[in-house]
Structure 1
Amino acid sequence: MIPINTLLLFYGYALLSVLWAYKPFFACFMVVQNFVFILLTFWMFSLLDSFRQIEKALVYFLLIVAIFSAIGARLIGSFSLFIHLLQTGSVSALCVAYCFGEWIKENKDKRRKCFLRNSMICGFILLITSTSSGANASAIAGMGAAMFFCGKAFWGVLIITAGVLTWFFRDQMMDLLLIIMPGKTRESVESVTGRERLWNDILYFARERPLFGWGFACVERVVSEKGSVLSPDAHNNYLGFYGSLGFVGCIFAGIHLFFSLSSFILQSKKLGFTGLTAAIVTALFNGYSYGFLSGKGCIITISYFAIITVGYHFLRVQRK
């Protein structure tokens, strides 16, 4: 399937970047790790023989990963209900987007509709309590995409109205964000938690190697050692692609993202693919707040690979 093939092509180029990487062994480890994640997710869904089984496995996988992340963060940190967990929020956003897309499309199977609704509620609770503005925004983008491809005019008007109200009452929305994001200030929220400084450093060093970059996941190492800020992650897929893999890497990443989205859209009338389309739109938007494809592997990375690989298995079982 095109999404998997283009993903492997992208990481094949990333593996090649080890030859000129700033830290070759580190870059090699990070790329190989992602290859292992891709193979694991593909193998996991290959064990199942029906659409219902695969869909439940996908949704349960996303929820379980998010729940364990949420619990673990509270065990080693604060037991607060609201805690800033970007990874938990991001995985929850993928789950919410998928379930919403399939929920509004399902009109016949009441059991499936109930399962999707309940899973969406669980994901939504995890999303809200993770207080990640990037994850929240990406979930809304994914849900909007689902509405568009389902032709739900009422829901489309509703989300547009919500967007207009949010714009006119943005000061009140900011106050609400500050209430549910303990420890943050208006300045930190408006400046994307101060990430401009990191992004400026990445752009500065990326210009030194614009064509091929510093090697996969290496621009963050360059910034940490030579720049003005320490960071294990670029907090942006697209800057991460440019800084670590250069213009060539951006082309390979663009090919993967474009053809993956296009492939899911073309299949959107089939079971599962409206949800997958919503999920990949969510991932594309969330890439502006976390470099889960361009740098360190994390629960968002493996969850994204699950979304990509499950598309093949949805088609496999529906051809029978």
Structure 2
Amino acid sequence: MQQDVGNESVGGGTLLMLLCTILNYYYAFKESKSLTPAIQATKSYFVFYIFALLSFLWAIFPDYKALFSKCLELISSYMLVSVIMWKTKSRRKAMLYLLYLCTLSATIGYFAKVLAFKSILVHTNTHSLIAAMGALMAWKMKNHYKIRHLAPLVYWNFFMLLMGTSSASNIAFIVGLFVMLSCTKKGVNIPKLAVTFLFFSAFYYFFKDLVFEYVFYGKSQEAVESGTGRQIIWNVVFDTWRKHPWFGLGYIVGERHLVDLTGLPAAYSTHNGFLSVLLGTGIAGAIIFGWFYLKTIWINIQGTFSSKYGTEMTILLPMLAVVTVNNLSFPAVGSEWNYTLPPILGLFALIHTIQYKTK
């Protein structure tokens, strides 16, 4: 279920979104005994959503319908995924659930684009993000759990990543691969990380033309260096945010009205999830969100050294790297809300609750 920033329809899609949101809340509150500990595990993220909801009090545009519908949907999805992950007591089952969720979400997004554009090559930065996560996860899980049927999921997710022709997702995948190759069964290995970095740097130096041809598919060097116009939007976002630095312009409201505020054509998105947080909720919101995100990274890295669940954390760390890097170009976390969000919420929930699960 997707609603694009700045291009919200009020037809059947909106009614379907409303129905899904109600069902999310129904299931979450039905499992009230699991809801409290599930939220407790990632409470700072929940606090950020509540803060975002309250930003209607100072939003510079009275676009409350967009703000409330988005925040209520986000909170419902967060609650639902958190409860499911909490109730799944087996690490193996939780990992498989997340992998299937990634693959399903990416597949739905990919075929929706194929049908819309009548082509298997569909430039996007949505399903390609989830496909990058799924490809890395299936690869490592196939080797760890010795499950043969996971091999096709590696190839299928990788295929969807390539068909997305997204430079940002390709780079995020390479960074995730870089992190994956830098990990051992005993956790993150700093010397191995340095060697892997040197290898990738040397490869880029000697095969730059090849990298531009495949990683930055269809883009000139000038377009890559300018972020395909993103740098212009980011400069405008910073200039706009400076006028309302502490609490921002209102969650999603500022983003939806960038065109009205700046006159910059088609600037309906910051094209950066972290900037979306800053623009919508200011320094106050960025502190809440940043605390959660940095804590998540720290728990994930620290968890790779665990003798109990270190292997699972080592599989999840490259996925978190993919989300973090891709979020610098597409606001999957912090603004956008569609089929990309549930797998990311599942990743966050699993990182914070895997210590409570059995084998």
Equivalence for 2:20: none
- 1:158–1:281 CA distance, 2 compared to 1 (3 A): closer
Name which of 302, 320, 327 aligns with 1:287: 327
Deviates more, 1:303-312 or 1:67-76: 303-312
Q: Is the 8 A contact 1:89 1:126 kept in 2?
A: yes
The aligned runs of 1:59-70 (5 Å cut-off) are 59-70=99-110
Do structure 1's residue 167 and structure 2's residue 205 form an aligned pair? yes
Structure 1: distance between partners of 2:203 and 2:89: 45
Structure 2: distance between partners of 1:193 and 1:129: 19
TM superposition shift of 1:116: 4.8
Deviates more, 1:133-142 or 1:67-76: 133-142
TM superposition shift of 1:238: 1.9
Do structure 1's residue 142 and structure 2's residue 181 form an aligned pair? no
Structure 1: distance between partners of 2:178 and 2:210: 23
Equivalence for 1:207: 242
Q: Is the 8 A contact 1:11 1:35 kept in 2?
A: yes
Equivalence for 1:128: 162
TM superposition shift of 1:263: 1.2
Do structure 1's residue 274 and structure 2's residue 314 form an aligned pair? yes
- For each residue in 1:192-213, what CA deviation from the matched residue of structure 2 results, as whole angstroms up to 9, or x when unmatched? 2211222122111111101110
TM superposition shift of 1:46: 4.5
Structure 2: distance between partners of 1:125 and 1:302: 21
TM superposition shift of 1:103: 5.4
Unaligned runs of 5+ residues in structure 2 are 1-37
Q: Is the 8 A contact 1:21 1:215 kept in 2?
A: yes
TM superposition shift of 1:73: 0.4
TM superposition shift of 1:45: 3.3
Deviates more, 1:152-161 or 1:252-261: 152-161
- For each residue in 1:175-229, what CA deviation from the matched residue of structure 2 results, as whole angstroms up to 9, or x when unmatched? 3456x44xx4444333222112221221111111011100111221231212112
- For each residue in 1:266-295, what CA deviation from the matched residue of structure 2 results, as whole angstroms up to 9, or x when unmatched? 222314211222211211111110112222
For residue 322 of structure 2, what is the amino acid of its counterpart?
T
Structure 2: distance between partners of 1:8 and 1:250: 14
Do structure 1's residue 241 and structure 2's residue 277 form an aligned pair? yes
- 1:36–1:30 CA distance, 2 compared to 1 (3 A): same
Equivalence for 2:300: 264
Unaligned runs of 5+ residues in structure 1 are none
Q: Is the 8 A contact 2:171 2:215 kept in 1?
A: no
Equivalence for 1:92: 131
TM superposition shift of 1:126: 1.2
What is the root-mean-square deviation in Å for CA atoms of aligned residues? 2.6
Structure 2: distance between partners of 1:200 and 1:158: 33
Deviates more, 1:43-52 or 1:187-196: 43-52
TM-score normalised over the length of structure 1: 0.86
The aligned runs of 1:174-189 (5 Å cut-off) are 174-177=212-215, 180-181=217-218, 184-189=219-224
Structure 2: distance between partners of 1:156 and 1:24: 48
TM-score normalised over the length of structure 2: 0.78
Number of residue pairs matched by the alignment: 310
Structure 1: distance between partners of 2:314 and 2:118: 37
Do structure 1's residue 192 and structure 2's residue 192 form an aligned pair? no
Same amino acid, percent of matched pairs: 20
For residue 162 of structure 1, what is the amino acid of its counterpart?
F
Structure 2: distance between partners of 1:282 and 1:32: 26
TM superposition shift of 1:16: 2.1
SS of alignment partner, residue 286 of structure 2: helix
Structure 2: distance between partners of 1:239 and 1:171: 31
Equivalence for 1:9: 47
Equivalence for 2:12: none
Q: Is the 8 A contact 2:258 2:268 kept in 1?
A: no
Q: Is the 8 A contact 2:257 2:268 kept in 1?
A: no
